Structure 1
């Protein structure tokens, strides 16, 4: 397996932004369920990425980056709650591994890294959603995520192609050994 490192990033420079943009575009165009319907161009993804980068700069989100042999291999976002009543949990967004690296166990490395970053940040619970029909809830179950609800028709891929949004939650305990 290649050398894989997961870290939290508090600031996004121009180079990292371009890497994130290329990754997100490529993941989407490979069929990844990360907020868009293919085909997309970097111009389609850039405004959404820039909004994430802005929230990272404000401390409202944490960017968790997967580097494989020193190159960006994927990323995820921890969206932090601003409510004083909910500061013990976050929502995980945009989990993705570049298509050229998929099938090597790096998704597991990334999600485990997200959990480590979350624990180090004092978080106790994580929430995420998956697109119905993707089967991703089985992947996340390996990390302790359990379904707690579905929103019928919440995601519209195309006219007449609406999907459920499946809500999952995990209570963070000690890291798996």
Structure 2
């Protein structure tokens, strides 16, 4: 609320990119580092630096350049606000579905409905690729299952202790899917 009035929702655009240029790489790196340091369940345990995240991002960018992954970028009011990855299968038996990875919205933009906007865009990008189903995992203990259930995802399994945040702090990996 601003002065008793609700702020207008941000203008959003979600696009799938096959090539990541240097400027987009820097935006993705900054977002991923900030999301990780805010406690986001996106592959790291805070604190992390850009130097920690960069090699993992660069490997992802290399896979995107080969067509194995698609980076789906969310812009809000023209600025990068979040992103996710569609990881495509190389198996001919699994080309009708993909795994969604690294779903993240920048901490400064959370609470504005952008996670839903990003995932709606991921679904559209997946359909544009001819996909019929998506799979993703979430880290147990964060309550993300309810968010994804609201987007039509169903849980189909849990792997106890699959994620080790620290000695003595193991979390479940929760597997979800949605038919598009």
Question: Fold match, TM over 0.5?
Answer: yes
- Higher-Rg member (1/2): 2
The alignment partner of 1:85 has SS state of: helix
Tell me if 1:33 matches 2:53. no
Figure out how many residues of one structure are paired with residues of the other and give that number. Answer: 172
Deviation at 1:30, TM superposition (A): 0.6
Tell me if 1:138 matches 2:166. no
Deviation at 1:69, TM superposition (A): 1.2
- CA deviation string 1:78-98 (max 9, x = no partner): 000100010000000000000
Stretches of structure 2 lacking an aligned partner (at least 5 in a row): 1-8
Tell me if 1:114 matches 2:122. yes
Deviation at 1:143, TM superposition (A): 1.1
CA RMSD of aligned residues (A): 0.5
The one of 75, 83, 101 aligned to 1:75: 83
**Alignment match, 1:152:** 160
CA distance in structure 1 between the partners assigned to 2:157 and 2:24 by the alignment = 35
**Structure 1 stretches of at least 4 aligned residues deviating more than 4 Å after TM superposition:** none
CA distance in structure 2 between the partners assigned to 1:103 and 1:48 by the alignment = 27
CA distance in structure 1 between the partners assigned to 2:113 and 2:152 by the alignment = 17
**Alignment match, 1:17:** 25
The one of 94, 97, 105 aligned to 2:102: 94
Stretches of structure 1 lacking an aligned partner (at least 5 in a row): 173-177
CA distance in structure 2 between the partners assigned to 1:120 and 1:49 by the alignment = 24
- CA deviation string 1:29-53 (max 9, x = no partner): 0110000000000000001000110
CA distance in structure 1 between the partners assigned to 2:150 and 2:120 by the alignment = 10
